[in-house]
Amino acid sequence: MSRIIKNHVQVMILVCAFLFAGCVDHSGKQIPPGSTVVSEPIVLTILHMNDHHSHLDARTITLQLATAKGKREAIRTELGGFPRITAAFKEMEAQAEHVITIHSGDAITGDLYYTLTEGRADAEMMNTVCFDVMAVGNHEFDHGDAGLKKFAEYLHDDPCRTALLSANVRFGPESPLAEASELIQPSVILERGGHEIGIIGLTVAGKTQNASRPDPGTHFIDEATAAQNEIDRLRAAGVDIIILATHIGYEADRALVEQLSGVDVVVGGDTHTLLGPEILQEYGMSPAGPYPTHGTDRDGNPVCIVQAWQYTAVAGELRVHFDEYGGVTSCTGTPWVLIGDEFSRPQATDVSLTPAESAAIQADIATGDVLRITVPDAAASDILAPYAKQKRELGDMVIGSAANNLCLRRVPGAKRDISRSSLGDLCNRNERVNAHGGDVQQLVAEAFLWQGREFFQAEISILNGGAVRADIPAGRITVQDVYTVLPFANTLVQLNITGDEIKAVLEDAIDAVINIGNVASGSYPYAGGLRWHLDLNQPKGARFTNLEIKDEDGLYRPIDLNRIYKVITISYLADGKDYYTTFKGIGSDRRVNVDLDHADALLQYVRSQETNGSRVTRLPIKAYSTQVFIDTSPSSSEGFDQYVLAPTDRF
């Protein structure tokens, strides 16, 4: 479009603005004053990922694949790995004209790669993709503002210089990022096909403040307020397309867009949400919604919402059609689940796949059009190789074995945080897990109690479900497995507190789960030596009943609200993080910093089982902290409301 014609159109828009306080385009979208009309519509391709948490290697997944007509069975193959992400992004980028690449946060912490390199390995792998932007996630603050600064500098030590975005962070005056505006920005403007595209970053506010480790002076303002302020600023500058790169969670994204005016697309992260077509269920996965999810802003305009699961397993490909004004006319796409090209039956089965069965698997994958066989990018694999060698040398040390699968789950029930397990529906839809919560969380709580008894005769351990980050599959357990399960930098702390304070802190944690939602699902409590009944429909203070303490004889007796108990927990919770606010009020006279690494406690527990000739196994149901779980009960479509099993294992 010539400058004269473009200026003429801008004048017409301004006339509309003065006469009618805004015009409406042919798609019905309200045209904000100052919008620039571009002569051609555009199809924008957004390639995205989120929450890889330093998981740079491929892992094994068991899928339900068709080996013959009408027959599905468990088939193993590789899943993800950053070199596959790189390859998929390169392939898709080569096939589209107007592309934007987005990482929606939590790139670091969660694997030995971070323990060894403090984010350098993650940054180098991300630069093989060369993301346009990355939203700053809550775990980018796990090692304070200085940890985020170090990672940002690693990421920028490359011509890509990926823009790190957060519109709602306010760094304190003493923060090392206070004067580093070039490292963390609220938004950027990109140009594609004659359109100016504004991308705004958002970091989950309450969770980062309470469930990570930003510097004391650093705080986060309300996400909706920050987003709207930045949208208005960009729109006033003539930007005609607005994308939010958020790290606030899927349900929070859906609620957020209804509060905003002028947003077109939300590319999210934080809740590790798998979105996609129904065929994923046939493959043994549990999508939480469609990809893309369609929403509307407060003016009734369409908004496209996506997220791409976790741990380099999915490369999202979103295609958004915009009209000449930058209004969304449609959006489609695929959350490509990246898998290997070798397939086998589980190791317990000796029967090899026949050529006909292998052909049926290939046909099934092609028909489903969501699993993507991807050869890892060679250059990315070469960059990763020396880091992988370091990791193997440390992580391959075998310390024990698991007799059965230990499932990961934060919250019991069938409607909260139900797609997190890397073992798929084996765990995500497991009756025992729905009734009592995560096996691996419960095992870690037991390991902490075991360690606490060794050092100060601890009677109870208390843990937040979000501190535990991975399943433990049946088989050998290595150092790497332990640090993948417990990747964060926490130490053990002794608290001498009353039974009443124990009940209060449990109520604090559940209050966050209920009132904040899936963003705070990690607050859900697990305990060793303590069990309860929980009804989320009751008011705060009355949700926990039948609180019982296990005594020295192995019998459970009602908790004494007035008695002082010796409790072991992690430093993160003892500081009042993750909404465990009652703990924060415990004075130094009742707190002892044990200064033992919390992951080492699990490591030593696993070793102790092996030394005694036993393998690590699931605890008996009677030892699970959640004995009865009653969820909030709106519609039956959200799942059963009450879960309680007889004290037998069902797996």
The pLDDT tens digits of the residues spanning 335-354 come to 999 999 999 998 766 689 99
Predicted TM-score (pTM) of this structure: 0.76
pLDDT of 610: 79
Same domain assignment for residues 75 and 108: yes
Domain annotation covers residue 225: yes
Spans of the chain, pLDDT less than 50: 1-29, 32, 635-651
Q: How buried is residue 95: exposed, middle or buried, by Cβ count under 10 Å (0-12/13-18/19+)?
A: exposed
pLDDT of 20: 29
Count of structural domains within the chain:
3
> How confident is the model over 148-198, as pLDDT tens digits?
999 999 999 999 999 999 999 999 999 999 987 789 999 999 999 999 999
Same domain assignment for residues 432 and 370: no
Same domain assignment for residues 373 and 413: no
Cis peptide leading into residue 214 (ω within 30°): no
d(CA 301, CA 319): 17
Domain annotation covers residue 649: no
d(CA 287, CA 272): 11
Question: Which element (helix H / strand E) includes 101?
Answer: strand 98-103
Same domain assignment for residues 109 and 216: yes
pLDDT of 37: 58
pLDDT of 613: 79
Whether the CB-CB separation of 508 and 580 falls below 8 Å is answered with yes
Domain boundary among 353, 380, 407: 380
pLDDT of 11: 31
Whether the CB-CB separation of 569 and 493 falls below 8 Å is answered with yes
Domain boundary among 380, 405, 439: 380
Domain annotation covers residue 650: no
Same domain assignment for residues 53 and 63: yes
Q: Which residue range is the domain that position 404 belongs to?
A: 396-643
Residue 439 belongs to domain with CATH number: 3.90.780.10
Whether the CB-CB separation of 502 and 607 falls below 8 Å is answered with no
Domain annotation covers residue 391: no
Same domain assignment for residues 357 and 213: yes
Structure letter (DSSP) for residue 349: -
Residue 206 belongs to domain with CATH number: 3.60.21.10
Helix/strand/coil (H/E/C) assignment for every residue in 46-82: EEEECCCCCCCCCEEEEEEEEEECCEEEEEEEEECCH
Same domain assignment for residues 277 and 418: no
pLDDT of 240: 94
Domain annotation covers residue 356: yes
Same domain assignment for residues 316 and 407: no
Domain annotation covers residue 442: yes
Domain annotation covers residue 99: yes
Q: Residue 55: what are its φ and ψ, rounded to 5°?
A: -85, 90
Same domain assignment for residues 415 and 493: yes
CA 201, distance to chain mean position in Å, is 16
> How confident is the model over 505-555, as pLDDT tens digits?
999 999 999 988 777 889 999 999 999 999 999 999 999 999 999 998 889
Domain annotation covers residue 651: no
* DSSP state letters, 108-151: SSSSHHHHHHTTHHHHHHHHHHT-SEEEPPGGGGTTHHHHHHHH
d(CA 120, CA 628): 44
